[in-house]
Structure 1
């Protein structure tokens, strides 16, 4: 079996200031197992070089394919686009935003299936935390990126996917100009032309992906549900919604082969479940990929039948999937686990006017004796000190005074009006050592797609459990 080995000289990497880029790409690819994301098998680190053993991709870049073919037929363009969206969605569900999606970073294997590569500019998303770095190629970059504005992450990948879809269907870029200021002007203004040969579905989808306002821009989930996208959607992409997808396809024959190499079954299955990278899992993935390449029936055999339904997240699709020619792969887990969708909800949500919300936030912080520094109109850096008296060792569940806490100052009161602080649940100070702990936080107010506003708190420095206590006190005091 062929593999690609990337040899990275440590001195050259350091001289080119690419240490962080290389480290980030290796870290991200170690986490990922998806049929349309380049596979990393192993990393070998020596004194002078780093050897990265990766999946071998034969057919080159999607960029070269578009240059050679020109604009693609709609079915072929949709085939590539469905796989790209599937890979990008997988990244986002694992809280990673690519930030440099373009045809040059999308590879094609021997069967003309997509492999997303080059995660060097990627970043890991954190709830309530915004990104600001200008990354990626300007022709594919979203308006908020080239403007230096804050962005959450997924919406910039949606924009780049919209540019890629345009390139697939039109053979050219929607935003192109040799003069960079003119190019930026077109991107910020959303100025481009839709050719007349595009179908009604494509003419509806592309503008929704290339909306200048990121809050109004279509999401990956909405792209997946768009009628143009769902035409002839392969079944394996229609049901690929849970991390368990790959565990459903454990191949007993390959497990047996790996065990014959000297690994125990328990070691292999445990490592696969926890996604550990070791000799056993590397052997399994190499044998698995080799078997797929040897099969003549196509990529992901038995799961490439076209999906005719227009809404990929319905029970009807699950029923069709479980009646396919390879039902054993899908019956290993309950259906709801296969199509389960993670729903993220962070912060304190409300529908009040943002000025009223911030006024109430200031009142709450003052009442809790928390100091703040305003870095942006709706972003605050917070600091507070929590005094903790550590008494005898016991659990709170026993009703003891294991940890009585008191915040610097006496402005905070318990619910009954007695002197207290609102942090922790001690019965009194008692005997013990009084220590002061600093907690630093960041508060951000942002607007959701539904028109609500969210107050989000993020720990910057300090003990996590003290952070939870501070958040609880804020939640009790805040009246929005």
Structure 2
């Protein structure tokens, strides 16, 4: 471990992600054309939206619960403050205006309320996020997680098939309805990926995006683990997310501890032992998580492979 720490200190600069060539929605010809200033739900005037409360705040914007006055319909409205950070460039509006999946949060329209801002009107998920449910109710059961995993994988499968990598899968970015429908949200750091190839030159700007605690080993230390497939990182993040929901805390550290700095996180995630399972964990669940948290990205299961895993098949049957 001392040798590893010394080598890490020689590479304190964050290793970058593979460069992702950003394209327009036209790279996915089956998508509808982006919407501009109007919505399929008839919310044509931004001023008709009444802010009710704040649902969340981030580095680049805020999310509000809003009501459309004429229809009394409830939505979520994300205001993106662009230009506050020159290094930040979001393709969220392009991605959300292109995608259509029951496992991804639906975009009803995009507005420009004032110069330098964009507002995304989205469906409102009335149960919050998986993170808020975990904090309110405690750890999830294996049965409920199988159903959750099936839905998230279906959403990731849709995104990956359409050349989109999410890059920030975590409990707070997974929205939930009261009937336990789960949808992927927050595409602030997501990217379009051109063509079949998923390995390319490096880009420091891309590495700074996303949540480091949920990043895969190849994103945290590409010197040791290689660049890998850009899609494999979403699978790792899913594995960390589900294991966290099962044990009730970030799984690579004890319940009362969080990583104090980037080096400690890298040492534990990349070079530490595999997180332990509670004794009651089934073999199917253990197998599924190990397939997600394979440190070698070339051996890590893909989303399409995971959809056929016995544990996920249980979740698919529960959702029918």
TM-score range, shorter chain: 0.5 to 0.7
Answer whether contact 2:147 2:312 (CA < 8 A) is retained: no
Map 1:311-330; keep pairs closer than 5 Å: none
Cα distance in 2, alignment partners of residues 207 and 68 from structure 1: 27
Higher helix share: 1
Aligned ranges 1:190-205 → 2 under 5 Å: 191=273, 192-205=275-288
Residues 44 and 175 of structure 1, relative CA distance in 2, 3 Å threshold? same
Q: Match for 1:167 among 236, 241, 244?
A: 244
SS in 1 for 2:156: helix
In 2, Cα distance between equivalents of 1:138 and 1:7: 24
Distance in 2 (CA, whole Å) between partners of 1:185 and 1:41 is 43
Match of 2:152 in 1: 84
Q: Shift of the alpha carbon at 1:218?
A: 1.1
Whole-angstrom CA distance in 2 between matches of 1:212 and 1:50 = 38
Structure-1-length-normalised TM-score = 0.46
- What CA distance in whole angstroms lies between the structure 2 residues aligned with 1:108 and 1:26? 21
**Does the Cα contact within 8 Å between 2:229 and 2:297 map onto a contact in 1?**
no
**1:138-171 deviations in Å (ceiling 9; x for gaps):** 2211000011442321110110111112112221
- C-alpha displacement at 1:7, in angstroms? 3.4
1:15–1:165 CA distance, 2 compared to 1 (3 A): closer
Provide the C-alpha distance between the structure 2 equivalents of 1:209 and 1:173, rounded to a whole number of angstroms. 16
Residue equivalent to 1:73? 141
SS in 2 for 1:31: coil
CA distance in 1, matches of 2:129, 2:152: 13
**Is this contact kept in 2: 1:139–1:175, CA < 8 A?**
no
Q: Distance in 1 between matches of 2:242 and 2:235?
A: 10
Q: Are residues 1:128 and 2:197 paired?
A: yes
Give unmatched runs, 5+ long, in structure 1. 236-303, 306-480
How does 1:78-477 map onto structure 2 within 5 Å? 78-126=146-194, 127-130=196-199, 132=202, 133-134=206-207, 135-148=209-222, 149-176=226-253, 177-180=258-261, 181-189=263-271, 191=273, 192-234=275-317, 304-305=319-320
Q: How many residues align?
A: 232
C-alpha contact (below 8 Å) 2:145/2:315 kept by paired residues: no
Structure having the higher Rg: 1
Alignment of 1:43-82 (within 5 A): 43-48=110-115, 49-82=117-150
Please, which runs of 5 or more residues in structure 2 have no aligned partner? Answer: 1-72
Relative distance call for 1:51 and 1:123 in structure 2 (3 A) is closer
Question: In structure 2, what is the Cα distance between the partners aligned to 1:19 and 1:138?
Answer: 16
C-alpha displacement at 1:129, in angstroms? Answer: 4.3
Q: What's the CA shift for 1:190?
A: 5.2
109-118 or 211-220, which deviates more: 109-118
Aligned mates of 1:90, 1:233 — CA distance in 2:
16
Q: 1:35 to 1:183 in 2, by over 3 A?
A: same
Paired residue secondary structure (2:233) = helix
User: SS where residue 83 of structure 2 aligns?
Assistant: helix
Contact 1:190 1:212 in 2 (8 A): no
- Checking the alignment, whether the CA contact within 8 Å between 1:38 and 1:117 is kept in structure 2 is yes
RMSD: 2.0
